[in-house]
């Protein structure tokens, strides 16, 4: 079977198979440091662009009121921070809380892992794990 993923996704997947790199990158000290760093950057980004409309709901820090260009799809979770304009239903926040847990586990490795999983949410393992229905994909 032919691998139809983009070359960059194949390269990321190949790197993920390197044991020592995976062991170091996913070590809790490294992952939690990356999680904290991404959370801090996202909080500043979301607070400033959203007019400081920040609250804690559903297990995530919600920065609402952002312009649509400041996040992906209906909203984006980076670390512990959910960036959105107005998608804050309990169902969506439940979905985003799963992404928060994924960030906490993978740290900065979440970025290449998520990209390697693909743009199609119906096939992306992180979106599937977070719940396609609660995320508004089905």
pTM, entire model: 0.84
Q: Say if residue 2's pLDDT is above 60.
A: no
Q: Which of 119, 111, 113 is nearest to 14 (CA)?
A: 113
**Which pLDDT value is given to residue 97?**
98
Q: What span, in angstroms and rounded, lies between the C-alpha atoms of 10 and 87?
A: 33
Q: Say if residue 12's pLDDT is above 70.
A: no
Compute the average pLDDT of residues 74-86: 97
Mean pLDDT score of the chain = 89
The share of the chain scoring above pLDDT 70, in percent, equals 86
Which residues, in sequence order, are CB contacts of 32 under 8 Å at separation 6+? 104, 107
Residue 35 near residue 107, CB atoms below 8 Å: yes
Q: Say if residue 81's pLDDT is above 70.
A: yes
**Which pLDDT value is given to residue 114?**
94
Residue 57 near residue 77, CB atoms below 8 Å: no
Q: Decide which of 15 and 116 is more confident.
A: 116
Compute the average pLDDT of residues 37-63: 97
The share of the chain scoring above pLDDT 90, in percent, equals 72
Which residues, in sequence order, are CB contacts of 59 under 8 Å at separation 6+? 93, 97, 100
* Cβ burial, residue 135 (10 Å; 0-12/13-18/19+): buried
Q: Domain ranges in the chain? A: 28-130
92-108 tens-digit pLDDT: 999 999 999 999 999 99
Compute the average pLDDT of residues 64-77: 95
Compute the average pLDDT of residues 59-75: 95
């Amino acid at each position: 079977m032919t691998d139809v993923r983009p070359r960059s996704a194949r390269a990321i997947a190949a790197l993920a198979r390197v044991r020592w790199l995976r062991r170091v990158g996913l070590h809790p000290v490294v992952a939690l440091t990356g999680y904290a760093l991404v959370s801090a950057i996202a909080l500043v980004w979301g607070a400033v662009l959203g007019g400081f409309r920040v609250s804690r709901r559903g297990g995530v820090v919600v920065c609402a009121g952002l312009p649509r260009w400041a996040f992906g799809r209906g909203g984006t979770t980076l670390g512990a921070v959910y960036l959105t304009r107005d998608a804050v239903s309990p169902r969506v926040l439940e979905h985003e809380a799963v992404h928060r847990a994924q960030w906490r586990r993978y740290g900065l490795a979440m970025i290449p892992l998520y990209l390697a999983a693909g743009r199609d949410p119906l096939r992306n393992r992180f979106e599937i794990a977070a719940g396609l229905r609660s995320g508004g994909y089905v």
